[in-house]
Amino acid sequence: MYLHYELKTVPSTRQDEAIARLHHLHSLMAQTPGFLDAQIGMYLGKPDQYVVTRRFVDAAAHYAYRASDAAKEFGAQRVVGLYENQAVQEWEQGLETVGDTTGNFLALTSFTVDVARWQEFLDQRKLHDATGVQLGGIVNFRTYRRIEKDGSPTTDVMVLGRRDGREAFNRFIQSGEMEAWRKGLPVGLFTSTGMGFYEIVDEVLPA
């Protein structure tokens, strides 16, 4: 699966307007074959920063939307100063683990992983994610690696962990099961490069 990722800054006085416009954009995308879902997450450490994710079955489905009349009409109605992109990236999904609850607390963690060890990393993530589901409070875990425009993989890896609240995150990272998982990791499998917490404030599913 393909993920289009954007990191945006939004003026504090125009946040509702920005969310409404992005919701409209995602509603147009939802009418495109191959669209899976889109979320807007507000950064809990800085209220003018948002992460926007859009999933399609593949890159071709996303490009098909961008070539559509609906996309061109939306672009022609651009609102100046509403938001500014800090990053625009393409990612491929390697793993999704689904839990049994609902919620809008999102932890975004980033890593670097050698391309040759991608499958090994995913194997370890399966164990990690299964532990999380067992402990409860998990909506889903989705693991991605960033790709270049030509589709070639990079060493950048991102995991989006959606939970029913911060309490579930705290319970997980402090658990004995998580400590055992850490101790069992192969040496040098990955380097952690960052973490941030978001609240999903808007979501669009297929029409």
In order along its 207 residues, the chain shows pLDDT tens digits of 999 999 999 999 999 999 999 999 999 999 999 999 999 999 998 889 999 999 999 999 999 999 999 999 998 998 989 999 999 999 999 999 999 999 999 999 999 999 999 999 999 999 999 999 999 999 999 999 999 999 999 999 999 999 999 999 999 999 999 999 999 999 999 999 999 999 999 999 997
DSSP secondary structure code for residue 117 in this structure: G
Confidence (pLDDT) at 118: 98
- Report the candidate in 129, 117, 132 with the shortest Cα–Cα distance to residue 191: 117
Confidence (pLDDT) at 78: 87
CB of 141 closer than 8 Å to CB of 109: no
What is the distance between the alpha carbons of residues 128 and 89, in angstroms, rounded to a whole number? 26
Partners of residue 95 on adjacent β-strands: 143
Helix axes 59-66, 69-76, angle to 10 degrees: 60
Q: Is residue 163 exposed (0-12), middle (13-18) or buried (19+ Cβ within 10 Å)?
A: buried
**What's the predicted TM-score (pTM) here?**
0.95
Confidence (pLDDT) at 111: 98
- Report the candidate in 198, 158, 161 with the shortest Cα–Cα distance to residue 45: 198
> CA 77, 80, 81: angle at the middle one, nearest 5?
145
HSE value, Cβ hemisphere, 13 Å, CA-based, for 113: 27
